[in-house]
Amino acid sequence: MEEGRTWSRLQRNLVVGAGVGAVVGVALGLIIGSIVFGRAGAIAASALAGAIGIGGLGAFWGLLAGLESPDPGNEPGQVDEPVRDVRELTSEERPLRHVSEPRGRPSNGDT
């Protein structure tokens, strides 16, 4: 169940990232191609190159976004409230050791 949800999230983010990247790449390729080149074939080639390049970059970013940790409270788990239900995972914070005032310096009360 957990692997299925993770895999579907990764696939969805990959497709969305690739789609958005391809659209942005085509737009940038058309703009840059029309400025730099003047012929229709060169403009189309730069649009295709933008779609491939920025689409691949968008797919990569989408895949990385799918690997992010979910928001607190939305973590997948086998219990409803993972941190609260497992007592061994949480404890009160305690100092590691007692630190005393260094010798030779007066404490806050002494002047």
Tell me whether residue 76 is in a domain. Answer: no
Tell me whether residue 39 is in a domain. Answer: yes
What is the per-residue pLDDT for 101?
61
Tell me whether residue 38 is in a domain. Answer: yes
Task: End-to-end CA distance of the chain: give it in Å, rounded.
Answer: 66
What is the per-residue pLDDT for 102?
61
What is the per-residue pLDDT for 58?
93
Q: What is the pLDDT along the chain (111 residues), one digit of tens a residue?
A: 567 777 888 888 899 999 999 999 999 999 999 999 889 999 999 999 999 999 999 999 988 888 876 666 666 555 555 555 555 666 666 777 766 666 665 556 555
What is the per-residue pLDDT for 106?
59
Burial of 50 (0-12, 13-18, 19+ CB in 10 A): buried
Distances (CA, A) of 102 to 2, 14, 45, 97, 99: 53, 57, 72, 15, 9
Tell me whether residue 96 is in a domain. Answer: no
- Owning domain of residue 24: 16-67
Tell me whether residue 50 is in a domain. Answer: yes
Tell me whether residue 44 is in a domain. Answer: yes
Token pair for 70: 């979910």
Tell me whether residue 48 is in a domain. Answer: yes
What is the per-residue pLDDT for 2?
65
What does pTM read for this prediction? 0.58
Residue 13 identity (one-letter amino acid): N
Cα separation, 30 vs 28, in Å, equals: 5
Tell me whether residue 47 is in a domain. Answer: yes
What is the total count of domains within the chain? 1
